[in-house]
Amino acid sequence: MRCPYCGFLESKVIDSRESQKGMSIRRRRECLSCKKRFTTYERLEQLPYMVVKKDGTRQPFDSQKLLRGIMKACEKRPIQISQLEEIVEEIESILQDRPDKEMESSEIGQIVMERLKALDKVAYIRFASVYREFKDVVEFKHVLENLLKEK
């Protein structure tokens, strides 16, 4: 590993620490030439999880994109970001358990909607309206009516 200070190629590892989930290792190194210290990270290379879209095409699962989508529905609502991260983590762990590492986008949307419904009704309606692409006001009304019935 090349020293970022002097470019020397040899260094010694003075400390190794594994991250909490065992996904990466952080190493403190010391350059054998200039003696300055620097840090390197070793990460597990993961196979991408795939999302199967409505038309049958697949795209890699992007947890940040999903989180952004949920955050948008929760704008100005009294919900903590950590609660939204939990939803994304839950979906990731379901994906991890799938032998084919695939999940349908409709299934992901369904889980998000269920979790949001329990957290905040406004966020739920917002997410549902984007996710389900309501074709007309009747469909939207239908979802609202169901929501009111459940109370």
- Min dist CB 37 to Zn ion, Å, is 9
- Min dist CB 17 to Zn ion, Å, is 22
**What is the rounded CA–CA span in Å between residue 119 and residue 84?**
10
Residues that bind Zn ion (CB under 5 A): 3, 5-6, 8, 31, 33-34
Whether the CB-CB separation of 38 and 31 falls below 8 Å is answered with: yes
For Zn ion, the closer CB: 23 or 34: 34
For Zn ion, the closer CB: 5 or 98: 5
Closest Cα to residue 70, out of 18, 99, 111? 111
Q: H helices of 56-136, where?
A: 63-73, 81-97, 105-119, 121-131
- Min dist CB 35 to Zn ion, Å, is 7
- Min dist CB 33 to Zn ion, Å, is 5
Q: Is 96 left (phi over 0), alpha (psi -120 to 50) or beta?
A: alpha
For Zn ion, the closer CB: 32 or 130: 32
For Zn ion, the closer CB: 10 or 90: 10
Q: Is 84 left (phi over 0), alpha (psi -120 to 50) or beta?
A: alpha
